[in-house]
Amino acid sequence: MNDRLRRLWGMIRKESLQILRDPSSISIAFVMPVVLLLLFGYGVSLDAKHIPLGIVIEQPDTASQSLAGAFDRSEFFRPQRFGAIQEAQQALAERRIDGILWLRNDFSSRLLSGNEAPIGVFVNGVDSNQANITKGYIQGTWLAWLQHFAAAQGRDLDLPVAMEQRVWFNPALNSRLFLVPGLIAIIMTMIGSLLTAMVVAREWERGTMEALMVTPLHMGEMLAGKLIPYFALGMGGMLLSVAMALVLFGVPLLSPFWLLMLCSALFMLVSLAIGLLISIVTRNQFLAGQVALVVSFLPSFLLSGFLFDIHSMPEWVQTITYLVPARYFVAILQTLFLAGPVWPVVLANAGAMLLMLVILTALVVKKSYKRLD
Amino acid sequence: MNFFHILSLARKEFLALMRDKRSRIIIIVPPIIQLFIFGFAATYDLNDVPVAVYNEDSGGASRELLARIEGSPHFSILHQLSSDAEIAPLIDNRKVLLVIRLGPRFSADLQRGDPAPLQLVIDGRNSNTAMTALNYLRGVVLDFNREWQREHGLTGPPVKLEMRAWYNENLQSRWFIVPGIIGSLILVVTLLVTALSVAREREQGTFDQLLVTPLRPVEILIGKAIPGIVIGLLEATLIIVLMVWFFEVPLRGSIPALYVGILLFLVSTVGVGLMISSIAVTQQQAILGAFLFIVPAVILSGFTTPIANMPEVVQWLTYLDPLRYFLVIVRGVTLEGDGFALLFHQFWPMAIIGAVTLAMAGWLFRHRMY
């Protein structure tokens, strides 16, 4: 037993020295989380503000000016006036503005005579999500103005059904609050799978695996010795990310910290097992890097529910997402941070990760043996 | 410059890359699989949002409104509740995204002409999903109001919005995301191919041998750049064909302009790849270096989230990102029907990025020795 510990310790020491001496591993574990969190926290946002909007008023008068004024005052828009609709459409085609509000010259006369006065709205639909949000803001500003306008004329604006909405967990609908916790899953995937995939592949490629084989190390000790330093590295990256999420971005953590650590450790083990499996199968750094990218990084970005809603994907893609460990971890993270320890969600997702861990470990054990080809 | 030199080096690079069956597969198969999975997965559109309804009203108006919500492809009503206490567990456990509550006097209020409130509780954990679902619901409610007012001889709001979307008329996110996937896939493949090309030789010690051959650094640079560009061009063509043929994304603009854009984008990414490769000492460093470039490049490009929403300082950073320009070109040519004139300002920054990075890579070939 003592021998075994000594051998394990020697292996851990060798791997740790290798990590410490190679600036690129340290930078993936500590520089990358900082860069990513800063980019996502400050840079990436789905909340549109100051949308450049062209306003065309063909016949300026009180009514049309007051409507345009409502858009001027809104923080969601940065309106620009155009003299004619053709100029505004040209600007829309050149991407200088994202939308047009067009009040034709009979706008006020129709409005005051009690006819329905139409407003033409054009939005650039290329970015459909942004276009939907823009349409929503335009509708909101329009409704608020209508109410104001009706009140000024001394009558109520009668809307038969009015929506009264309450948003739970993220009342301000701030996209940062859900992007930042999800990002922790991506950072840990990167450390766990990509970095680890390359480590064992490197030993094969350089022929040092053969050198390791003639040592008394058992396969299990060798794998454990390789994984423990990377586990520590990954958890370090995770702690750094959580600290930044809480301190810098003000994301609330509504659950006990130990639960977050426990779930993260579980996810880290799954990522490490995937990385290890990739490197054992490919035995080549180029392939290991490519495969890790394709099977772990990109799916954790696009198929985990981190950015895109899983429920809206076609059935067969939803089936594939069950194979992506980040799917379970992102669900846990968003719930633990924003909603609190909702046990059914936590247990179901942690159980799925545990099952994946068992299967992956079995595969790793099956595929790794001390043998030369 | 000796073209025979360049050609033989390029040929050797191709052989090194294509000799191994697994590398051949890895260059071609994963991008296609990704295009299909991500082309279907990456959507901001919501279908069948799970909804629970707590209807205390027994009138016909509430039934009609709920039928309209159920009839929309965006919502599916999964649960009928009978008490307030059932709301929280459904939302907490993510069984439903949205709970709609209609009070006991809903239909009566509506008949009398008083405002009838439609109370909503929505899970905001994913704020974008929540906002999109609310927007869809607002559309349904506005339609219902309009119809109700017409049927009951009431005057509607005095002003009506006539909304129209340009270029992507039905606002499908697939039309926005799939052209973006071309850019990010080409970026990943060419960057990895070129980032490893010099680093592999450095690690194996053959780069020194290459330096003592009669090849000049410029020739090494071009010879190493050619495989990345050729592979990128072929892959781009394949993905574009699939995009038009399978995903039915329109190709409305000038195809020559698109190819000029692809070529310039490839030159700039190959430049970045070779620069990373000549800084790196080992393949691992090269791959991690490529990664340190790819991830911010994709995030800052406007692929999934708009550049306009970023703070000013971050927006300046995006000008260094070749993918930023390329995405404008692909989306411009596919959806907006742009030609050379509207895209000129996207072409030259990529040319500058390519020239600077290639020059640095060539200089580093000679000046970074281990």
Question: Does the CB of B241 have a partner CB in chain A at under 8 Å?
Answer: no
* DSSP conformation class of A195: I
Q: Which residues pair with B51 in a beta bridge?
A: B77, B98
Q: Which pLDDT does position A182 carry in this prediction?
A: 86
Question: Using CB atoms within 10 A of its CB, is residue A369 exposed (0-12), middle (13-18) or buried (19+)?
Answer: exposed
Q: In this structure, is the dihedral angle defined by the CA atoms of residues A281, A285, A291 and A297, taken in order, positive or negative?
A: positive
Strands of the sheet containing B75-80, edge to edge, are A161-168, B116-123, B98-102, B49-55, B75-80
Closest CA to B189 of B361, B11, B17, B9: B17
* DSSP conformation class of A307: S
Closest CA to B263 of B226, B295, B238: B226
Q: Which pLDDT does position A298 carry in this prediction?
A: 79
How do residues A10-21 score in pLDDT, each as one tens digit?
A: 888 888 888 888
Is residue B33's pLDDT more than 70? yes
For residues B273 and B361, give the distance between their C-alpha atoms in angstroms, rounded to a whole number: 9
For residues B75 and B136, give the distance between their C-alpha atoms in angstroms, rounded to a whole number: 9
For residues B334 and B167, give the distance between their C-alpha atoms in angstroms, rounded to a whole number: 9
Residue B334 one-letter amino acid: T
Mean pLDDT for all residues in chain B = 86
For residues B126 and A175, give the distance between their C-alpha atoms in angstroms, rounded to a whole number: 7
| Least CB–CB distance from B128: residue in A46, A291, A321 | A46
Which residues of chain A make contact with B280, given a CB cutoff of 8 A? Answer: 24
Is residue A373's pLDDT more than 80? no
How do residues A156-197 score in pLDDT, each as one tens digit?
A: 666 767 777 777 777 777 778 888 888 888 888 887 888 788
Residue A17 makes CB contacts below 8 A (sequence gap 6+) with none
Contact yes or no for B132 and A339 at CB 8 A: no
For residues A193 and A196, give the distance between their C-alpha atoms in angstroms, rounded to a whole number: 5
How is chain A split into domains, by residue range?
2-44+174-367, 51-152
Question: Does the CB of A25 have a partner CB in chain B at under 8 Å?
Answer: yes
Question: Does the CB of A208 have a partner CB in chain B at under 8 Å?
Answer: no
Mean pLDDT throughout A254-272? 93
How do residues B259-275 score in pLDDT, each as one tens digit?
A: 999 999 999 999 999 99
A–B interface: beta-carbon pairs under 8 A: 333
**Which helix (H) or strand (E) is B268 found in, with range?**
helix B255-279
Q: Looking up tokens 């007012």, which residue turns up?
A: B149
Is residue A372's pLDDT more than 60? no
Q: Which two tokens stand for residue A278?
A: 């990739």
Question: Does the CB of A128 have a partner CB in chain B at under 8 Å?
Answer: yes
Q: Which pLDDT does position B262 carry in this prediction?
A: 95
Is residue A303's pLDDT more than 80? yes
Longest Cα pair distance anywhere in chain A, in angstroms?
Answer: 96
For residues A227 and B342, give the distance between their C-alpha atoms in angstroms, rounded to a whole number: 53
Which residues of chain B make contact with A129, given a CB cutoff of 8 A? Answer: 44, 128, 132, 173, 176
Closest CA to B232 of B354, B72, B314, B95: B354
User: How does residue B349 score in pLDDT terms, banded at 50, 70 and 90?
Assistant: very high
| Least CB–CB distance from B283: residue in A36, A286, A344 | A286
Is residue B359's pLDDT more than 80? yes
CATH of B49-151, one of 3.40.50.300, 1.10.3720.10, 1.10.540.10, 3.40.1710.10: 3.40.1710.10
Provide CATH code, domain A51-152. 3.40.1710.10
- Inter-CA distances, B299 with A42, A290, A309, B308, B360, Å: 12, 19, 18, 13, 25
Q: Which two tokens stand for residue A123?
A: 């939005």
Phi and psi, residue A106, nearest 5°: -95, 15
Q: Strand B116-123 vs strand B75-80: parallel, antiparallel, or unpaired?
A: unpaired
Contact yes or no for B159 and A303 at CB 8 A: no
Q: Which pLDDT does position B368 carry in this prediction?
A: 67
Question: Does the CB of B118 have a partner CB in chain A at under 8 Å?
Answer: yes
Closest CA to A279 of A357, A331, A227: A227
For residues B9 and B49, give the distance between their C-alpha atoms in angstroms, rounded to a whole number: 56
Phi and psi, residue B213, nearest 5°: -75, 165
Contact yes or no for A291 and B26 at CB 8 A: yes
Higher pLDDT, A255 or A219: A255
- Inter-CA distances, B249 with A23, B239, B240, B327, Å: 43, 12, 9, 15
Distance from CA of A358 to the nearest CA of B (A): 26
Is residue A256's pLDDT more than 90? yes
A-contacting residues in B 120-179 (Cβ below 8 Å)? 120-132, 134-135, 137-138, 141-142, 144-145, 148-149, 154-169, 171-173, 175-176
Question: Does the CB of B310 have a partner CB in chain A at under 8 Å?
Answer: yes
Strands of the sheet containing A51-57, edge to edge, are A77-82, A51-57, A99-103, A117-124, B159-166
Residue of chain B nearest A196, judged by CA positions? B284
Q: Are residues B290 and B276 in contact, defined by beta-carbon separation less than 8 angstroms?
A: yes
Distance from CA of B5 to the nearest CA of A (A): 26
Q: Which two tokens stand for residue B212?
A: 């003592």
What's the count of helices (H) and strands (E) in chain A, helices before strands?
Answer: 17, 5
For residues B74 and B280, give the distance between their C-alpha atoms in angstroms, rounded to a whole number: 50
For residues B243 and B178, give the distance between their C-alpha atoms in angstroms, rounded to a whole number: 7
For residues B339 and B343, give the distance between their C-alpha atoms in angstroms, rounded to a whole number: 7
pLDDT above 90 covers a percentage of chain A that reads 17
How do residues B105-164 score in pLDDT, each as one tens digit?
A: 888 888 887 888 888 989 888 888 888 888 889 888 888 888 888 888 777 676 677 777
**Cβ neighbour number for residue A124 with a 10 Å cutoff:** 21
Question: Does the CB of A118 have a partner CB in chain B at under 8 Å?
Answer: yes
Q: Which pLDDT does position A371 carry in this prediction?
A: 60
Mean pLDDT for all residues in chain A = 84
Contact yes or no for B115 and A160 at CB 8 A: yes
Distance from CA of B69 to the nearest CA of A (A): 13
Distance from CA of A361 to the nearest CA of B (A): 24
Highest-pLDDT range among A142-151, A350-359, B27-36, B245-254: A350-359
| Least CB–CB distance from A287: residue in B23, B91, B93 | B23
Residues of chain B within CATH 3.40.1710.10 domain(s) are 49-151
Q: In this structure, is the dihedral angle defined by the CA atoms of residues B178, B182, B185 and B188, taken in order, positive or negative?
A: negative
| Least CB–CB distance from B117: residue in A118, A142, A162 | A162
| Least CB–CB distance from B34: residue in A294, A305, A309 | A294
For residues B355 and B361, give the distance between their C-alpha atoms in angstroms, rounded to a whole number: 10
Contact yes or no for A118 and B162 at CB 8 A: yes
Question: Does the CB of B72 have a partner CB in chain A at under 8 Å?
Answer: no
